[in-house]
């Protein structure tokens, strides 16, 4: 029993953190929201070079065939740094749904060359970033089709560009467990992004509380803020083990229960982090100029992406045999 990341996984997280920390990701996210994808595409390629896009692609198809734990590690960094793009779709979902249909696509997915997005109603009714995707899919129940995108719908998170889709060419009818596996993997990756975003929001709020002064002292000396931030720490610390627990049980009989538990906990913890970070920052955090809002709105969007908390709580109870 060793319920902790190994050195390799920690190094992987660190190299992603370094890479993304050095890039001006918030600027890329802002530009992405305005339809200027250049900086975001550059990040996409650099992440692919680090192996992120090959995580869920088997080794014999040019990927890394990594574990779900590695995927969680990567997506936590994507969330922490606000990286825009259809990552959950291309990195996590596409390898699962395309494996049987178009094995040749896997290699191009792993290299980052192929950008895939998809809608999977009812929980994921819009395709993210369909305007830049090479392949737009619709997964409706078990029916997998290519799809054409309609007009852009704006998200609360400006960097999430959502498109309604209509089915075009029928590709395959996927078995139920493939569809379930794709959904669980997506929900888990999304949870990891939430955790990363929550960690970043806490870090930003703590930093601000140490420097911002009112009444002649750092606002971080005030117990009301201290206690609110401590509660954020507790929430994130206890969401994390659920996330890794779910990564370990992905694909097992407990997969639905555990990924849903992870999504609920990560969404709650990140949402609390967002609300608290805004409160700690005061009005400055409520401006469009300040980057904080980018994370706050991202978290709000991810809370309901790939299954709302209500959907996931229902799944937990159903899995416990008590629905």
Partner 1 sequence: MNLDFTEGELAFRDEAREWLREHVPAGPMPPLDTAEGFAARREWEATLAAARWSVVAWPEKYHGRDASMVEWVLFEEEYYRSGAPVRAAQNGISLLAPIIFEHGTPEQQDRYLPAMADGTEIWAQAWSEPEAGSDLASIRSTATRDEARGGWLLNGQKTWSSRAAFADRAFGLFRSDPTAERHRGLTYFLFPLDAEGLSIRPIAQLDGHPGFAELFFDDVFVPDADVLGAPGDGWRVAMSTAGNERGLSLRSPGRFCAAADRLLALWRERGAGHPHLRDRVVDAWLAAQAYRLYTWGTVTRLAAGGDVGAHGSVNKLFWSQLDVGLHEVALDLLGPESELRDEPWLDGYLFSLSGPIYAGTNEIQRNIVAERLLGLPKGGRGR
68 vs 285, which CB is nearer to partner 1? 68
322 binds partner 1, rule: CB under 8 A: yes
- Please select the residue that binds partner 1; options are 111, 245, 279, 290, rule is CB under 8 A: 245
Q: What angle do CA 137, 139, 140 make, to 5 degrees?
A: 140
106 vs 267, which CB is nearer to partner 1? 267
For residue 175 the two structure tokens come to 């078995």
- Please select the residue that binds partner 1; options are 9, 143, 279, 304, rule is CB under 8 A: 9
252 binds partner 1, rule: CB under 8 A: no
Q: Which of 107-115, 148-156, 158-166, 232-240 is the region at the interface with partner 1 (rule: CB under 8 A)?
A: 232-240
195 binds partner 1, rule: CB under 8 A: no
For residue 198 the two structure tokens come to 């929550």
* Min separation Cβ 210 and partner 1, Å: 7
Residues 6+ apart with CB under 8 A from 65: 57, 58, 59
Per-residue interface string for the shown chain with partner 1, residues 301-320, x marking contact by CB under 8 A = --------xx--xx-xx--x
Q: Which of 97-105, 134-142, 182-190, 214-222 is the region at the interface with partner 1 (rule: CB under 8 A)?
A: 214-222
Q: Which of 4-12, 80-88, 130-138, 291-299 is the region at the interface with partner 1 (rule: CB under 8 A)?
A: 4-12
CA–CA gap between residue 146 and residue 148 (Å, rounded): 7
239 binds partner 1, rule: CB under 8 A: yes
Give me the helices (H) in 51-152, please: 68-81, 87, 94-98, 103-110
Torsion, Cα 254 257 260 266, to 10 degrees, reads -80
Binding to partner 1 in span 46-75, by CB under 8 A: 67, 69
33 vs 235, which CB is nearer to partner 1? 235
Q: Which burial class, exposed, middle or buried, applies to 213 when counting CB atoms under 10 A from its CB (0-12, 13-18, 19+)?
A: exposed
217 binds partner 1, rule: CB under 8 A: yes
Q: What is the maximum span of the chain, computed from C-alpha positions, in angstroms?
A: 67
* Min separation Cβ 68 and partner 1, Å: 10
116 vs 261, which CB is nearer to partner 1? 261
CA–CA gap between residue 176 and residue 144 (Å, rounded): 12
CA–CA gap between residue 74 and residue 51 (Å, rounded): 10
3-state per-residue secondary structure call for 259-294? HHHHHHHHHHHHHHHHHHHHHHHHHHHHCCCCCHHH
For residue 261 the two structure tokens come to 């538990």
140 binds partner 1, rule: CB under 8 A: no
249 vs 297, which CB is nearer to partner 1? 249
Q: Strands 161-163, 127-128: parallel, antiparallel or unpaired by DSSP?
A: antiparallel
Give the residue among 121, 163, 172, 124 at the shortest CA–CA distance from 144.
172
CA–CA gap between residue 45 and residue 65 (Å, rounded): 19
Q: Which of 51-59, 95-103, 239-247, 288-296 is the region at the interface with partner 1 (rule: CB under 8 A)?
A: 239-247
126, 162 in Cβ contact below 8 A?
yes
210 binds partner 1, rule: CB under 8 A: yes
155 vs 249, which CB is nearer to partner 1? 249
Catalog residues that contact partner 1 under the rule CB under 8 A. Answer: 1-6, 9, 67, 69, 202, 206, 209-210, 217-218, 220-223, 225-227, 229-231, 233-234, 237-242, 244-245, 247-248, 261, 264-265, 309-310, 313-314, 316-317, 320-322
């Amino acid at each position: 029993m060793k319920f902790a990341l190994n050195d390799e996984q920690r190094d992987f997280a660190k190299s992603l953190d370094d890479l993304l920390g050095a890039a001006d990701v918030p600027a890329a996210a802002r530009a992405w929201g305005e339809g200027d994808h250049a900086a975001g595409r550059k990040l996409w390629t650099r992440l692919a070079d680090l192996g992120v896009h090959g995580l869920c692609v088997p080794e014999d198809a040019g990927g890394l065939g990594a574990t779900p734990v590695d995927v969680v590690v990567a997506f936590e960094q994507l969330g922490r740094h606000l990286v825009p793009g259809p990552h959950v779709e291309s990195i996590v979902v596409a390898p699962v749904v395309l494996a049987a249909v178009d094995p040749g696509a896997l290699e191009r997915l792993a290299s980052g060359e192929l950008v895939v997005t998809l809608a999977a109603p009812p929980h994921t009714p819009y395709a993210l970033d369909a305007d830049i995707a090479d392949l737009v899919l619709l997964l409706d129940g078990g029916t997998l089709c290519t799809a054409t995108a309609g007009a852009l719908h704006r998200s609360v998170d400006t960097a999430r560009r959502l498109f309604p889709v209509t089915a075009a060419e029928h590709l395959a009818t996927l078995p139920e467990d493939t569809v379930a596996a794709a959904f669980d993997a997506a929900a888990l990756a999304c949870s990891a992004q939430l955790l990363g975003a929550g960690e970043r929001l806490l870090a930003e709020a703590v930093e601000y509380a140490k420097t911002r002064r009112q009444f002649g002292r750092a606002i971080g000396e005030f117990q009301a803020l201290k206690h609110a931030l401590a509660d954020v720490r507790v929430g994130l610390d206890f969401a994390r083990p659920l996330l890794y627990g779910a990564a370990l049980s992905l694909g097992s009989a407990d997969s639905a229960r555990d990924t849903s538990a992870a999504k609920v906990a990560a969404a709650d913890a990140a949402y609390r982090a967002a609300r608290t970070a805004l409160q700690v920052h005061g009005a400055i955090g409520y401006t469009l100029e300040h980057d904080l809002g980018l994370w706050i709105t991202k978290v709000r969007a991810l809370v309901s992406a790939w299954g709302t908390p209500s959907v996931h709580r229902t799944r937990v109870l159903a899995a416990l045999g008590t629905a």
